[in-house]
Amino acid sequence: MRAKLIESVPNISEGRRRNVIDAIAQAAQGEGRHVLDVDSDADHNRSVITIVGEPTAVAIGIDRLVEEAVARIDLTKHHGEHPRMGAVDVIPFIPVHNVSMKDCITLSRQVGKKIADKYKIPVYLYEESATNETRQNLATIRKGEFEGFFEKIKDPEWKPDFGTAKVHPTAGATAVGARQFLVAYNINLATADLITAKKIAAAIRGSSGGLPYVKALAFTLEERNIVQISMNLTNLKKTPILRVFEVVKNEAEHHGISVLDSEIVGMVPREALYAVASTVLRTEQFSRASVLEDRIEDALRNKH
């Protein structure tokens, strides 16, 4: 791919009404962008919509999506397990091809300003776009949720980055920001012992002495009667997926527990899989030039 390509993964506060979810996802479709995936969770009452495309086209798609979501979601009537502060709760922009993190930060500011101006929704810049350290963490911004935000926003510390200090009566507030591609990665263990699983999650989690760029929780998978280490990997270049797998595998073995299998939730960049293969095979000289399909695609591209 020669074109500039970004991903945006808006999270909307609706995971039950199929027609509403479809209408909002459909609104994001259009020239130069593609809705790749819509992942809805009824318990969380939340949907994660994956859009990829050319940066300007994705920004237009996000605007349409916000318009539709504001029209159809009323947070005063919304209940779900997942914390939320907005009808469109969070909008991350992620560089994919030929786009820098800086480009995505710039785009997030443009989109954030537009949402505040056009829909009167207060906007907080988060992660790489954050204007101060406290706002890097989405969970910190969101604390208090929709219901608590009417008070929280009066605190000068929580003055929004765009818009006035006034929560939208039905659509709440929205976090917008740039971030690295995030891989949701789960490892399933051959045990039902949740206490040990929590120890293993703590051992891999960056914030408690494990690997940086790894967020981890332990869950029970009722239907399989096993436990799962559920992770977000936020920087695959610095903390690659294979290292994460091996640390979890080793930690589990110290408790006499085997790794059953693992799963990539959503998507992983191709380069991350090439990196696993070349690390295991010890192919120091490996590059895309060694991959048949990549060479063919490059040859086809250079012809045009």
Catalytic residues: 82
Residues in the chain: 304
Q: What is the nearest approach in angstroms of a second copy to the Cβ of residue 59?
A: 18
Cα-based distances in Å from 150 to 85, 97, 165, 238 = 10, 39, 9, 39
* Stretch of 15-23, 124-132, 170-178, 293-301 contacting a second copy, by CB under 8 A: 293-301
**Alpha-carbon gap, residue 97 to 109, rounded angstroms:** 20
The residues, ordered by sequence, that sit 6+ positions from 113 with a Cβ below 8 Å of its Cβ are: 123, 162
Q: How far apart are CA 104 and CA 111, in angstroms?
A: 10
Binding mask 36-55 for a second copy (x = CB under 8 A): xx--------------x---
Q: Quote the least distance from Cβ 39 to a second copy, whole Å.
A: 13
| Cβ distance to a second copy smaller for residue 79 or 282 | 282
Identify which of residues 71 and 264 has a Cβ nearer to a second copy in the complex: 264
What are the residues whose beta carbons fall under 8 Å from the beta carbon of 64, sequence distance 6 or more?
A: 27, 28, 30
139/300 with CB nearer a second copy: 300
**55 vs 122 by CB, closer to a second copy:** 55
Contact string (CB under 8 A) for a second copy, positions 237-256, x = contact: ----xx--x-----------
CB of 259 to a second copy, least distance (A): 6
Q: Over the range 182-204, which residues count as b (16 or more CB within 10 Å of their CB) and which as e?
A: bbbbbbbbebebeebbbebbbbb
Residues that bind a second copy (CB under 8 A): 1, 5, 7, 34, 36-37, 52, 96, 181, 241-242, 245, 259-264, 266-270, 273-274, 276-278, 280-286, 290-297, 299-300, 303
